[in-house]
Structure 1
Amino acid sequence: MNSCSLGKLNVSMSIFLVDSHCHLNLLNYETTHQNVNQVIDNAINEQVRYMLAVATSLEGYEQMTELVGANPHVGFSCGVHPCYVKDAQYELDKFRELASKEHVLALGETGLDYYHETDTLRLQQQRFSEHIQLGAELNKPIIIHTRSARKDTLAMLKSEDISRCGGVLHCFTEDIDTARAVLDLGLYISFSGIVTFKNARELQEVAKFVPIDRMLIETDSPYLAPVPFRGKENQPANVRHVATFLANLKSISIESLAENTTKNFCQMTHLSYDALLSV
């Protein structure tokens, strides 16, 4: 899609939403979507006018950038998910080369996952450390994944001095104490469609607690579709439902939530807010 196609879309300029975490290369383009341009157009029609396409491996990053191409509505994150740390194609020099590209706004997703992977703990920690060190070197934030690894994740964020590059704990599902610790480290907290689930009352209390100036929103597409699409494949357009739910939860307008979360995203990734609004 090029910028000329925007004229064909029903876009209100009053709201500018960012999907701060999606996996555009993992959506179903065989039966669900025609192509990635259709996915992006669907998002823009829901006033989701920028997306961060997040890699889970270096090979996946290269596939994703080839799929999307140069698009003013999409930025990229390059890195290795903790469940893929045994990827034979990983080389630190290759990671540095890819992560240095201008369209790479963040590194990751990275972190620790002790739920799915129990035999790679040391390697996960090593890769996590390398991501933070490279983030500091390149002045790019880190997209952090944690599951069943709260203690070690927080310990590493402190010992590696995450403040050198900053970042976000994405798809947050932890408790208020963890949220407080993450905020004390200067990080952002991102909420996905999980926060809209009926059984997510504790997480909804966390969302009330997190200040609006430290909050991001995401889909984690193709996973975790929000209500009313739960159980279906997720897509960036659905971040509008996450935003609406959170705005109601925090008793603010959707316009205020959109403005704040988009400014937060720009602050984290060193993008110009005014320039982003012009895409």
Structure 2
Amino acid sequence: MTALRTAAVLPVRGHARLLDGCLEALRAQHLPVDDLVVVDDSPEASLGDLDGVRIVRSHGRGPYAARNLGWRSSDADVVLFLDARSRPRPSWSERLVAEFQDDTVALAGSEVDVLPGESLGARASHEQQFFRLRNYLANPFFLPYLPTCNLAVRRSDLDAVGGFSEVRSGGDADLCWKVLSDRECRLAAVQEVLMDWVPRDKARDYLEQNYRYGRSNHQLRLDWRPRGAAQADPKPLLPLIKSGVWLGAHVLTARISGRDDDLARYLSWSAGLAFDVGFRRAHSEWRHDTPTSPPVPVDGALERAPGQAR
């Protein structure tokens, strides 16, 4: 087997308290990475020296710009992307890098388990499990892809497509689709949990994450429409309002009654509503900015981002 040089690239901004756990898991890998790169994306440098870590600074340009800076600073053959909430299990790097012994593999990832937690937001995230492979491989609205909390990419393919689009959300799908669209290569998925992920504590942050997924889903559909991505109309306003009222009443009732399991389940259902609201808002902004654009063709009902309840 050919020895492949590896790098782990980890962007951090505002999650310094989570960083230690991720670095501890990376240092415990059966196959140590050759280059451990933490990209400090704070507007002003906030991280000091870290043992065994190379720090680069992206000065608040955003997570995908930070990832681009990270992989471009390394000479690795395979780049493993993750984030501060990622907790790779000891065999993670070994199992993913082994996939690249097959020259046709350009991308690799594994199952991810969103960990449980005590807070409402964490329990809802654990209930939803939005990083499950089936959401990205079996049920994508366009082509398969993998999330950047657990994504390995061959360096030559990153070079070939110019890396990530430097957007706030959705850059992982866009990168994977660019790699898979124009080359005789494939995505390899390890059907086993090799990565744990620490969820957000606050319910508001959890819903905001799903709102961003809705916005990025709309943009991805537009960007990839020339290549055949299905288009969709947003849900009408009245059903969204009715859903919000229904969910709000059930959340309130569950909270008053102390039914914690029901509360977490209703919040996970609210993630689908947040997604729909984000999609609708992005669509409205697009129509406002492009008043002369032709109507967007609709291909069935709106398909949500990975993990969204219907």
TM bucket normalised to smaller: under 0.3
Q: Using structure 2 for the length normalisation, give the TM-score.
A: 0.25
Q: Using structure 1 for the length normalisation, give the TM-score.
A: 0.27
Query: Highest CA radius of gyration, 1 or 2?
Result: 2
